[in-house]
Amino acid sequence: MKIGVYPGTFDPITHGHTDIIRRSLRLFDKVIVAVAAPSPSKHPLFDLTERVEMVRLVTKDLARVEVAAFDGLLVQYVKQCGAQAVIRGLRAISDFEYEFQMALLNRKLDDTIETVFLMPSEEYSYLTSSIIKEVARLEGPVTDFLHPEVATRLCQRLRRQSP
Ligand code: COA
């Protein structure tokens, strides 16, 4: 059974992420979406439980997808899942350097695990969770980029945060 792990912060999950999940289902029998616990470099708007909940909601109709939270080293988690590969989206050249570094470091840590890069549909190639949060903060429309329930939660969260 071919298992791929798609890791990320998913703060929150966007249509760009879902596009990668759908594409990866063409290559893998099972895809585990691994939602990362907060790290010193990222301070997510949504806590881990909420981010997992939103990924579950968005992927509920995708039978071969599992969603889980993870902490610690990615390669250890991948091994523990019995997976063979890490799945990453490559949106633009600007992603390449960071992804290249991460893929090589992960390979150094465990050379039995491969990294597979997939390109999202071009309509999502400019998306990041931060840019969408910025649009929502400025009360712009985000429904083209997010599942309706995720969009509602994002707007509610930002409203609660504003003074
Ligand atoms: N569509 C839309 N947005 C996308 C996207 C896509 N297809 N692919 C990535 N993004 C966005 C993300 O939303 C995120 O946006 P943000 O910075 O505004 O939040 C940004 O691109 C990059 O984030 P992402 O791809 O989710 O990765 P990440 O940097 O949040 O997560 C981990 C990185 C969690 C996979 C990595 O830090 C990790 O492996 N951590 C575990 C510890 C470890 O093993 N470290 C060593 C690894 S070398």
Q: At what angle do helices 129-137 and 148-161 cross, to 10 degrees?
A: 60
Q: Which domains does the chain have, with CATH numbers?
A: 3-125 (3.40.50.620)
What is the separation of C-alpha 84 from the centre of its chain, rounded to a whole number of angstroms?
Answer: 18
User: What are the pLDDT digits (tens) for 103-152?
Assistant: 999 999 999 999 999 999 999 999 999 999 999 999 999 999 999 999 99
For residue 96, CA distances in Å to 2, 88, 91, 118 come to: 25, 11, 9, 12
pLDDT confidence of 72, banded at 50, 70, 90? very high
d(CA 65, CA 44): 23
Pocket of ligand 1 (CB under 6 A): 7-9, 11, 14, 16-17, 20, 36, 73-74, 89, 91, 102, 105-106, 120, 124, 127-130
Is-contact 5 77, C-beta < 8 A?
A: yes
Is pLDDT above 90 for 71? yes
CA-nearest residue, atom 29 of ligand 1 = 8
pLDDT, position 92: 87
User: What are the pLDDT digits (tens) for 4-46?
Assistant: 999 999 999 999 999 999 999 999 999 999 999 998 888 999 9
